[in-house]
A and B are shown apart, each in its own frame.
Chain A
């Protein structure tokens, strides 16, 4: 295979000759595409000489055909010399398929596009909000139907989700909480030591973890771990028409897929939140023992003195709410998947970002609420 070459010969007074040689194939044509693109009808007759061409493919045929077409369209004489049957066949083929074809979506003016983007985003946001409320309503309806109309809950699915969401997360949630507890104790000690108050590290660890950090950190980890999994699972099922199959059999996807996940998440977030707080205190206590010489017995005694029971209750009340938020957001985003695999990725990301955002907002509301009630 030889690279294609192009020679423009204007020596004959009557017109111009374009001599093509070599292989006019996609792999060999790179050198002449620009030169051939620069040829435009200029009032002179054209002869295209392809006697030196040893191979054609459709791209080569297209380039030759386009020269012919452009000259003919300009009403100027054009002749093709030295074409072999193989080449002519391909030229005829591309000629037969030269039709106006849309390749890109139509693009309006820049202002119109930007307005369309803004408008689309607003409409999208409002529609998502509406759909989310609808989804939340459907989930609650399904929940109350199961509770009060004595429709059987899907215990197998719930237990399965309990394991995936809760038991399998014990390792990572425990480890991270433990480490955060240690870091909190260490940083607290550095600061409090300046005032000679390093024994108050116990207050810091105890109150911060049971009331806020333990549950919040757990929620963030669970959102990243299980919220994303919910969105991806349900999204893939939606793409594979499994959700449609379920509905057509007469099973409600909300009842089969969403409810078990929401219930399992509410239960397990409560347990995991408590467990995370406990491990954080353990980590902090270990640091106190090693670094501050506070023995475990004194640490626990002081913990009992300074941490009111209300802290534990507040933490435990918040946990299932966070769990429901994460599960509903994850399942909702999964159900919003349409079309293609890219949409699964986008929705999974959205599920994690939105559930963490919502968890933190709701946590702030809880903080204001409980402070107003006098739990300080």
Chain B
């Protein structure tokens, strides 16, 4: 495994019929960082994530995760790979007929023969870890609020202590307080569990608060990847509009306040 690069995307092209979503995406995600991916609606952020996860076969290009070419893996190795990442989909994507605790136990049950007692204990501390109330365990996803569903989805994504975590708009649809708490949670968990985060977001506050680097995707390519100050110095109308627009400035101001 090439030491520091967890995800390496080279020359990725995605095409749906006439519509070309990605022309030539090149991206490297370093171990231990939180990489934010931003871009306008329809620029293919989610398609990029689905391609990396193997849910979508790209038209061209290679994707390496932990140094292994995702497309070339046989079934057993591809399963091995899936144990090492966790995914939080936009609305949690919890299995609707299972309780929260059962949802968290699904990956453990699927891959390992652990005693039920141990799985229950693990589910217990994961529930506490993601900040769900103690009574949430026996509830069905439909009985939870949107924010709680996301936390439960995060607990399931973290069930096997993954080395790589994919988050698809984790703060979308949360109130500002809940969103800020979720940001802090991800950062804290990253600091204790030392995983790498691939994060798709529209939330400027999230970008400022937790992302180490940000990749801007537009016109089917990665326009620029770097820290936020680097991006703000980058001369491209969309990037300037994004970070220097009223919302961008507000997010930056609050970020400075925190640091001051």
Alpha-carbon gap, A89 to B115, bound state (A)? 25
| Residue pair A58, B97 in contact (C-beta under 8 Å) | no
| Residue pair A26, B160 in contact (C-beta under 8 Å) | yes
- Interface segment, one of A3-11, A191-199, A319-327, A338-346: A338-346
Alpha-carbon gap, A98 to B124, bound state (A)? 8
Given A26-B160, A103-B101, A104-B101, decide whether A58 and B125 contact each other with a Cβ distance below 8 A: yes
Partner of B192, one of A29, A89, A102: A89
Q: Is A97 an interface residue (CB 8 A)?
A: yes
| Residue pair A66, B117 in contact (C-beta under 8 Å) | no
Q: Is A100 an interface residue (CB 8 A)?
A: yes
Alpha-carbon gap, A29 to B118, bound state (A)? 11
Q: Is A152 an interface residue (CB 8 A)?
A: no
Given A98-B125, A102-B135, A103-B120, decide whether A27 and B83 contact each other with a Cβ distance below 8 A: yes
Chain B interface SS verdict (over half): helix
Which residues of the partner chain A approach B120 to less than 8 Å between Cβ atoms? 103
- Chain A residue at minimum C-beta to C-beta distance from B96: A340
| Residue pair A103, B124 in contact (C-beta under 8 Å) | yes
Given A93-B129, A103-B124, A339-B142, decide whether A37 and B96 contact each other with a Cβ distance below 8 A: no
Alpha-carbon gap, A222 to B85, bound state (A)? 47
- Chain B residue at minimum C-beta to C-beta distance from A86: B194
Within 8 A of B (CB), among A289-327: none
- Chain A residue at minimum C-beta to C-beta distance from B84: A27
Partner of A101, one of B97, B108, B128, B160: B128
Q: Is A30 an interface residue (CB 8 A)?
A: yes
| Residue pair B114, A98 in contact (C-beta under 8 Å) | no
Alpha-carbon gap, A37 to B112, bound state (A)? 17
What is the size, in residues, of chain A's interface with B at 8 Å between Cβ atoms? 34
Which residues of the partner chain B approach A342 to less than 8 Å between Cβ atoms? 96-97
Q: Is B140 an interface residue (CB 8 A)?
A: yes
Q: Is A62 an interface residue (CB 8 A)?
A: yes
Q: Is B137 an interface residue (CB 8 A)?
A: yes
Partner of B134, one of A59, A86, A101: A101
Q: Is A241 an interface residue (CB 8 A)?
A: no
As a 0/1 sequence over residues 56 to 68 of chain A, the CB contacts with chain B under 8 angstroms (1 = contact) are 0111001100100
Q: Which of A27, A63, A341 has the most CB of B within 10 A?
A: A27
Within 8 A of A (CB), among B104-136: 108, 111-115, 117-118, 120-129, 134-136
Q: Is B141 an interface residue (CB 8 A)?
A: yes
Q: Is A33 an interface residue (CB 8 A)?
A: yes
Which residues of the partner chain B approach A102 to less than 8 Å between Cβ atoms? 134-138
Where the two chains meet, the residues of B that have a C-beta atom closer than 8 Å to any C-beta of A are 83, 96-97, 99, 101, 108, 111-115, 117-118, 120-129, 134-138, 140-142, 160-161, 192-194
Nearest 4 interchain pairs by C-beta: A340-B96, A97-B128, A57-B161, A339-B142
Where the two chains meet, the residues of A that have a C-beta atom closer than 8 Å to any C-beta of B are 25-27, 29-30, 33-34, 37, 57-59, 62-63, 66, 86, 89-90, 93-94, 97-106, 338-342
